[in-house]
Amino acid sequence: QVQLVESGGGIVQAGDSRKLSCKVSKLTFKYYNLGWFRQAPGKERDLIAALAWSGSDTFYADSVKGRFTVSRDNAENVSFLQMTALIPEDTAVYYCAAADGRSRAVLNVAEYNYWGQGTQVTVSS
């Protein structure tokens, strides 16, 4: 089945930057929309960024807007989440996920069919 693997997590200082990667493999289709989620202990898993196949339709949660940037390289089936100005509230497990389609940023978590295992980001104060 389709696999997604996140990497790049770790322990960082508040105010620092960190870039996460999501490698998609074992694809059986050409197009997919992509989402980045995060889940802090005791909290719900929240969508923080979404990106259509074309890259022209994006979504950012208010909590990360202006600080995080999502991108994708479809030729390599890799997505990046560039995080800047990190704050302790950003501490969470970060997941990438794929949804069928190519035309829009998908906001409904139920539409995401494939998930990575997550990578931990810890922001110290």
Strands 32-39 and 18-25: unpaired
Question: What average pLDDT does range 27-54 have in this prediction?
Answer: 93
Amino acid in the structure at residue 78 = V
pLDDT of residue 28: 83
Instruction: Assess whether pLDDT exceeds 90 at residue 33.
Output: yes
Of the pLDDT bands very low, low, confident and very high (cuts 50, 70, 90), residue 1 is confident
Average pLDDT on 19-24 reads: 97
Whether the predicted pLDDT of 79 surpasses 90: yes
pLDDT tens track for 53-73: 988 899 999 999 999 999 999
Q: What is the mean pLDDT of the segment spanning 46-56? A: 94
pLDDT band at 30 (very low <50, low <70, confident <90, very high): confident
Burial class (CB in 10 A: 0-12, 13-18, 19+), 42: exposed
CA 37 to chain CA centroid, Å, is 5
Please state the φ and ψ torsions of residue 111, each to the nearest 5 degrees.
-85, -10
Among 54, 59, 39, 65, residue whose Cα is nearest residue 108: 59
For 87-99, the pLDDT digits (tens) are: 999 999 999 999 9
